[in-house]
Amino acid sequence: MNKKVEIQDLGLKDFKDTWDYQEVLFKGILDTKIRNRREELSLETPNYFLFVEHPHVYTLGKSGDLDNLLVSEEKLKEIDATFYKINRGGDITYHGPGQIVGYPILDLDNFFTDIHKYLRFLEEMVILTLAEYGLKAERSTGETGVWLDVGTPFARKICAMGVRASRWVTMHGFALNVNANLGYFDHMIPCGIKGKAVTSLNVELGKAEVSLEEVKSKLLKHFTALFEAELIEQVIS
């Protein structure tokens, strides 16, 4: 079992280019696993954790409803945003500057083979990170992701999640609003859940901006502890 995880920070990168890159890494792990089984080998499979910021983009999961995107193709161009239907779970979500997007591409055979546990660990990583900023973040029953003031009329989502897995290899991941432009969420029904608000860490803290690098560092600290992983830093510029 290889618990080493290569960390790559891609900076600001186009969504489609990043999706294609994810697919390359994902397929590489799958191919190794298939070869191991076919040829009775025991080749080590790698693990990756990508950090990225995307230009404004809306993505719709394979079970999502296109009606949850509330703007036309012309309006998308006007607000300088793009749209993609993708192969993760979940409904519609938004990515943009000021948001930390994390894509763990892991062979769960190296950790544990339980997708439910995997999602709960990703949520816990975010919950523990937000606790360091004095925020009580929680899960909301039946709604994947991380929320504030759950069970109240003021419930608001701060982190969305959606993953894909095949042969216990994962891709896609989470999007944590840190300094996000919340106006872009007005053009969709977030995750297909009507009547729920969205927030960002800087708004909750009453700050103009929160350090993205500081938040990434805290996320990785908790990821390492939860997954008992060994991190290998590889910064991509």
Catalytic residues: 191
Q: Is 200 exposed, middle or buried (0-12, 13-18, 19+ CB in 10 A)?
A: buried
SS (H, E, C) 73-120: HHHHHHCCCEEEECCCCCCEEEECCCEEEEEEECEHHHCCCCHHHHHH
Question: Would residue 40 be called left, alpha or beta, if left means φ above 0 and alpha means ψ between -120 and 50 degrees?
Answer: left
Per DSSP, which regions of the chain are E strands? 4-12, 48-53, 57-60, 82-85, 92-95, 99-105, 137-140, 143-148, 156-166, 169-177, 197-198, 230-235
Q: Using CA atoms, how far apart are residues 63 and 162, in angstroms rounded to an integer?
A: 11
Q: Using CA atoms, how far apart are residues 179 and 208, in angstroms rounded to an integer?
A: 8
Long-range pairs, 146-154, Cβ under 8 A, ≥24: 146/176, 148/199, 148/204, 154/197
